[in-house]
Amino acid sequence: MSVKSICVFCGSRPGDTPAFTAAAEALGTGIAARGWRLVYGAGDVGLMGSVARAAQAAGGDTFGVIPRHLVDWEVGKTDLTRYIVTETMHERKKVMFMNCEAVVLLPGGAGSLDELFEVLTWRQLDLHAKPIYILNTNGYWDPLKQLMNSVTGHGFADDSLLDFLTWVDDAPAALDGIATDLAPA
């Protein structure tokens, strides 16, 4: 059985609520506890740093990908199991996505949304069938859910778009869902 890799998109800032950091830590710890590999943006700040440090503390395999221009800004975490520096943001997203079996979105900003919408668009275009989880800590992503319903409700996407996102309230629900999704048929 091969090790499963979970790509986590999340903020390079911690946000304004301790629950965001707690969710990142629970997810990182849970990924490692299941023997899975964390794939993420290689930063050592914000939720990125929290998820990675938690995975490392639990003995997990960590795979970080960061574009050269963000190494200083996001404090590239060079003590990961694997640390890759790319030339562009697009390369970063591609390497992260190509090295995972599932995606989880934690709270974050424009960069996290960019990452989500790229993999969601690829899913809509039938370029992959990887599960995409939205970890909706304290309802943070409720406005995103409303937006997605508006997009489909106004006819700019088929209702099937909504089926490509699995909404969960906490890390254990995301981990259990991914385990089910990735279980051999």
| 87-96 pLDDT per residue, tens | 999 999 999 9
Spatial separation of the C-alpha atoms in residues 124 and 55, rounded to whole Å: 31
Token pair listed for 146: 């409303």
Q: What angle do CA 68, 73, 76 make, to 5 degrees?
A: 60
Residue 48, pLDDT > 90, answer yes
Asked if 107 and 140 count as a contact pair (C-beta separation under 8 A), the reply is yes
Residue ranges covered by each domain of the chain: 6-179
Helix, strand, coil: what percent of the chain each, to 5?
45, 20, 35
What does CATH list as the number for 6-179? 3.40.50.450
Token pair listed for 76: 């590239």
| 65-104 pLDDT per residue, tens | 999 999 988 889 999 999 999 999 999 999 999 999 999 9
The residues pairing with 103 across neighbouring beta strands, listed in sequence order, are 7, 132
